[in-house]
Structure 1
Amino acid sequence: MQITSLSLFRFASRSARLWAFAMMGAARFPLARTEGLRFWKLCGSGTDEGFAPIPNTSVYAILGVWDDATTARDTIDSHPLWNRYRARASENWTLFLNPVSTRGAWSGKTPFAVSEDPGTGPIAALTRATIKPGIAARFWGRVPDISRVIGANPDVMFKIGIGELPLLHQVTFSVWPDAPSMARFARAGGPHAEAIRAVRDGRWFREELYARFRIAGETGAWEGRSPRLLTELQPEGSA
């Protein structure tokens, strides 16, 4: 069964950050040749947990879609590229994700093959959009308010904004304890709902994708710990 991985890396020193920035180009060749990796994206991040247009040169991400969980785990654990990232990073964290719903496209593709939703456990939401250049200023003007609302929500377990291209290609990723808590946030009024209406009414995006995942496992740590996920998973689901 197909599985998705999201690997986050934090780089502390200036030399490590310069290396990570260079790898946004250099890592493409080894990723393209990785057996069992069907879709991948290299992403940078913004400040304020990624939800800002100013680049954060210390945090980078690799998203991958794999043939199966064993291939994903074994490759991420032993592949020279991931080893090089881990060797230079001050910390790293990888989530393994089972897609349970998806709509839209990413670079003209539908990357996630949906599996049956077990209906229990933490759930992750991923949104990806190509923002029309003429709309970028209005879009980013709304983001700080949305970020504050998410951050104040007691249910959100983790959130980050990443992207392939600053300002124009944006990915948001958040983890919630269950589907009802995520649905309550999505239905609530305020900046988030207003932004969704503006996006729909103004057709702000050239391309968009929305996907939900169940958390299948994790390895590593972020900010010195598992962001409230480890205790929520079955023992065999964590590494």
Structure 2
Amino acid sequence: MKDLPVSQISTFTLMRFNGLSNTFWIFGQMGKAQKKLEEVPGLLFFKLLGSGGGNGFSKSLNVNVYALHCVWESEQNATDFFELSDTFSEFKIKSAEIFYIFLKAVKAHGLWDGTNPYELQNLSPNGPVVVITRARIKLKFLLKFWRHVPSLGRKVSQAEGSIFSIGIGEYPWFMQATFSIWDSYEAMRAYAYGSPLHMEVIKNTRELGWYSEELFANFIPYKTVGKWNELDFHLDQKV
């Protein structure tokens, strides 16, 4: 008997909010949206995330840019949410800019809040790849961690094959995540294992145990909706 195809997909949404009232509104949603999102049909896992200054790799906060990462039972559940949900309609109405990308997970290890939410698909990356990393930093290592991160963020954006990257997080400073798009799996690996600064962070992570929890996941992106000024990247294909 053949294995049934995996229907689970993930999405990552970037949102920019301008104006004082909209900024206060989205900041309030970091707590208020939780209950609404828990009731969305087919939504298996979600995180509403803030961002840092610049490209997000900063101790300062960017009060205008937020992200919503979701894992869905199926693409239809995601489409219904983005097109029909009153909850997401509020985000669309109040945001000045919105962009979302559909993803299929191909590799994931580690935990996010005690779980690995991704069901992996047997697909070979032969085009762009997306990487999401997430870590809960031990308080005693916060200063050491933040000495490296701003420089690391600049290196990611300058790396060959890097299309886009942003630093995001559930809570400032000690629950951090990154989202990045690369033009190929080979380019991502070349940076991950060829950058001296990145290798130093990996070494410190392993030897010193900076994190109390971490997760690393690779995805194949296959569809995008909307636009983001810093990102010239559009897809609409079958995977």
Q: Find the counterpart in structure 2 of residue 154 from structure 1.
A: 160
Q: Find the counterpart in structure 2 of residue 167 from structure 1.
A: 173
Q: Find the counterpart in structure 1 of residue 66 from structure 2.
A: 60
Structure 1 gap ranges (5+): none
Structure 1 residue 154: Cα displacement: 3.3
Which of 36, 39, 42 aligns to 2:45? It is: 39
| Matched residue type, 1:131 | I
Which of 137, 141, 145 aligns to 2:143? It is: 137
1:139-198 Cα deviation digits (max 9, x unpaired):
011011111211212311110111101111101110001101111111113211111111
Q: Separation in 1 of the partners of 2:151 and 2:199? A: 11
| Matched residue type, 1:223 | N
Which of 70, 79, 97 aligns to 2:76? It is: 70
| Matched residue type, 2:88 | W
Answering whether residue 24 of structure 2 is matched by residue 18 of structure 1, we say yes
Answering whether residue 206 of structure 2 is matched by residue 178 of structure 1, we say no
Cα contact 2:160–2:187 (8 A) shared by 1: no
Q: Separation in 2 of the partners of 1:188 and 1:228? A: 26
Question: TM-score, normalized by length of structure 1?
Answer: 0.94
Q: Separation in 2 of the partners of 1:14 and 1:29? A: 24
* Other structure's SS at 1:84 match: helix
Residues 222-237 of structure 1 mapped to structure 2, 5 A cutoff: 222-223=228-229, 227-230=231-234, 233=235, 235-236=236-237
Q: Percent identity?
A: 33
Q: Cα–Cα, structure 1 residues 144 and 180, in superposed 2: closer, same or farther, change >3 Å?
A: same
1:201-225 Cα deviation digits (max 9, x unpaired):
110000000000000211011117x
Question: TM-score, normalized by length of structure 2?
Answer: 0.94
* Other structure's SS at 1:196 match: helix
Q: Separation in 2 of the partners of 1:189 and 1:170? A: 20
Return structure 1 stretches of 4+ with deviation > 4 angstroms.
none
Q: Find the counterpart in structure 1 of residue 130 from structure 2.
A: 124
Aligned-residue CA RMSD (Å)? 1.4
Structure 2 gap ranges (5+): 1-6
* Other structure's SS at 2:120 match: coil
| Matched residue type, 1:70 | Q
Q: Separation in 2 of the partners of 1:213 and 1:154? A: 19
